[in-house]
Amino acid sequence: MRSYLALLGPLAMLAAAPAAAQHISYETIEPEITLPTGGQRNIAANAGTAGTAGGAIKALASYGPFRVIDAGRAALVDSTDSRSPEAFSAMLRDYPGIATLDLVECPGTYDDLANLRLGRMIRAQGIATRVPRGGSVRSGAVELFLAGVRRSVDAGAEFAVHSWLDVDGHEPGDYDAAAPSNRRYLDYYNQMGMSPIEAEAFYAMTNSVPFDSARWFGAGVMGLWVQFDEVSMPDELAQRARVTFAPVTFAYAGD
């Protein structure tokens, strides 16, 4: 399980996109960490961070980590695992009108392969993803945000990323860029609408942080890497969040 201990101000690290390449400065936070037994990418929230909003949701029904808010909206309020794709299917069977998934309290996943499968299901169902004010999308949950056919964020949303670690203790940089362990994420990002250059740049950014560290940032910085369809924040910050980032040179972190 991946656990991150501190939160930077949601928009404190916002930087405008340069003309040629992204050079974004981040602060690295050292977390408490328990190494996974396999396929886990998960970041626990701290008291006082944005990632504490999940418990306040009044739900019509619960399906694993999902809560049905009304006939057209559901929320993700916990980590996903191997059972989450089936829980998602059951939710849509009972509430077929759900068109938006709010990512409220999303630490990550206990099963990365199932999580990627879930993301493809979200995209295939034509569901939009939204991070509301106070929402927290961390680690493997970032892939689920990317799955939305439309993506929206509110001011005060937060994101956190770092590299994965496999059961043998290897991180992405320990493998060739074309290795299946890396290609599965690049292929996923392509399927979620990123160009190959965008996918490689985004993946390199997430992997520039070791597994035992974390990078936290707000909606403005996330908008430099991921195209939003709707943002709810002051005009100047919204303009920056809509910027499509310039291509960057791709390099994996690690030796």
Identity of residue 205: M
At 64-111, the pLDDT tens digits run: 999 999 999 999 999 999 999 999 999 999 999 999 999 999 999 999
pLDDT for residue 44: 66
Tens of pLDDT along 152-207?
A: 999 889 999 999 888 788 899 999 999 999 999 999 999 999 999 999 999 999 99
28-241 has which CATH code?
3.90.226.10
- Report which DSSP code applies to 2: B
For residues 39 and 214, what is the distance between their CA atoms, to the nearest angstrom? 18
Q: What is the per-residue pLDDT for 32?
A: 35
What is the rounded distance in angstroms from the CA atom of residue 101 to the CA atom of residue 65? 12
Pair 165, 35: CB distance under 8 Å: yes
The packing angle between helices 84-94 and 112-124, to 10°, is 30
Give 6-59 pLDDT, tens digit per residue. Answer: 222 232 333 333 323 333 233 333 333 333 334 667 676 643 445 445 556 789
Q: Copy the structure tokens of residue 8.
A: 């930077």
Nearest to 197 by CA among 245, 140, 147, 149: 245
Residues 6+ apart with CB under 8 A from 174: 254, 255
| Structure tokens that stand for 118 in this block | 């879930």
8 Å CB contact between 114 and 88? no
pLDDT tens digit string along 109-145? 999 999 999 999 999 999 999 999 999 999 999 999 9
Question: Count of CB atoms within 10 A of residue 32's CB?
Answer: 11
- What stretches of the chain adopt beta strand conformation (E)? 28-29, 41-42, 61-63, 66-70, 73-76, 100-103, 105-106, 108-109, 128-131, 136-138, 151-154, 158-161, 214-218, 230-232
Cβ-Cβ contacts under 8 Å for 47 (sequence gap 6 or more):
none
- Best mean pLDDT range from 1-5, 72-76, 216-220: 72-76
Encode pLDDT of 160-174 as tens digits. Answer: 999 988 878 889 999
Residue 241 has pLDDT above 70, yes or no: no
Residue of 219 and 244 predicted with greater confidence: 219
Looking at the predicted structure, is the pLDDT value of residue 217 above 60? yes
Q: Which pLDDT score, from 0 to 100, does residue 233 have?
A: 57
pLDDT band at 230 (very low <50, low <70, confident <90, very high): confident
Domain residue ranges of the chain, discontinuous segments joined by +: 28-241
Structure tokens at 98: 């759900």
